[in-house]
Amino acid sequence: MRVQVSSDDKIDIAVLSTATLPWRTGPAYLSLWHACGLAERGHRVVLGIPWISPSGQKHIFGSIRFPDRPAHRAWLREEAARLGCPPLPPVRYYPGYYAALARSIVPLTDVFSLATDARAILMAEPEHLCWFPFVRSRRRVPARRIIGIVMTNYLDYLERNGAILGKHFVLGLNKQRLRTRVDELIPLSPAVTLDDLDRPIRKARVTGVLPPYFDVPPPPPETGGAYFLARMVWEKGFADLIEVSRRMALPVTVHGDGPDRAAIEAEARAKEAPLTFTGLAPSPWQLLPNHRVMINPSTSEVLCTATADAMVAGRHVVLPRVPCNAPFLDYPNVHGYAPGNLTEAEAAIRTAMATEPVTPIAARRDYDWRTACETLETILLGEGT
């Protein structure tokens, strides 16, 4: 049941994010849908996202895409409609800086300044949003409720990127930010550990799959190849993908782009692995009719949206049995293997390639975005909404 918006000048919900499209990352998609979906339910919503200066856009988007905020806002409104989202609510920007070393956008201001008129605040990656040294404490934020969705395994991230010496400082800082800025936390998957925080932890499904994936036709019988869709960085498991492709002489199409693309392509050529690289895929659902199996060797995710997309589209998925994949392993069409056991991975791939996928009824029910937004509405505003 949709609510009636308030008659005063307060907004009901501010959705704050560490990223925005066209940087095609999990937080960018997640926050966009949350903002649009909660607004569709009748709430006054604003979406708070980083503004990257034109010079910084070269590093993150590959070129200068937007001369100013109105240009980005207009593009984002069209992009949300193309992705099947409800209409985009008002957008507010905070200044951000792309830090190449961290491969992240760092806030250059107190992000709570975007939400001083909000009754409730939803934060994607709350610890990251609060990295700014002078971000205000919880008692200085008038919102009745602040909910944080934790979606990054920073311990894994720091170790993989060689930040061994600084990891204890970063992890300690993140915990301090979460304790003092957020009322309740939602871990996106079991891959996130939230020990010693003295904050309520709620387990809830708050993600979904874009509507176009629900309409992808099933692969024709006994046809279709293998693919992987990911940001092209080594921690996504590309070394294992190259090795499996080489050992099986299995052609795999890789959709995506990223800072390690050149090195990954060079390694595939050197090992004579039959991988094909197509680059960025703004509409990946249009590519899936040619594919039967998604191979996702990554163990660094918290929750891989591309895996959920493949399940909802009725594709087989082959992935390692690690905590980040635990939410997927009980669904039909999902084939797990022990991490690092490439022989078991090869067997799972052969089974998937030779088997017709079943209709993904359960996945389509569980990964519906509007249901996710209804769940968030209750968490943010209480049972009476």
Q: pLDDT tens digits for 192-216?
A: 877 777 888 999 999 999 999 999 9
65: left (phi over 0), alpha (psi -120 to 50) or beta: alpha
- The domain segmentation of the chain, as residue ranges, is 11-208+368-381, 211-365
Res 60: pLDDT: 87
| Bond prior to 22 in cis (omega within 30° of 0) | yes
- Per-residue pLDDT band for 131 (boundaries 50, 70, 90) equals confident
Digit-coded pLDDT (tens) for 96-105: 998 877 778 9
Strand order in the sheet with 252-255: 275-279, 252-255, 225-229, 291-295, 316-320, 334-337
pLDDT, greater one: 1 or 268: 268
CATH of domain 11-208+368-381: 3.40.50.2000
The residue length of the chain stands at 385
- The pLDDT of 342-365, averaged and rounded, is 96
Domains 11-208+368-381 and 211-365 share a fold: yes
Q: Which of 61-65, 96-100, 349-353 has the highest mean pLDDT?
A: 349-353
Q: Does domain 211-365 have CATH number 1.10.8.590?
A: no
> Which ranges of the chain does DSSP label H, i.e. alpha helix?
26-40, 54-61, 69-82, 126-129, 154-160, 167-181, 238-248, 261-270, 305-312, 342-354, 361-366, 369-381
Digit-coded pLDDT (tens) for 201-259: 999 999 999 999 999 999 988 788 999 999 899 989 999 999 999 999 999 999 999 88
Contact 256, 281 (CB under 8 A): yes
Question: Given a cut of 60, is residue 354 above it in pLDDT?
Answer: yes
Task: Give the predicted TM-score (pTM) of the model.
Answer: 0.88
Residue 274 DSSP code = -
Res 193: pLDDT: 75
Res 6: pLDDT: 41
Question: Given a cut of 80, is residue 333 above it in pLDDT?
Answer: yes
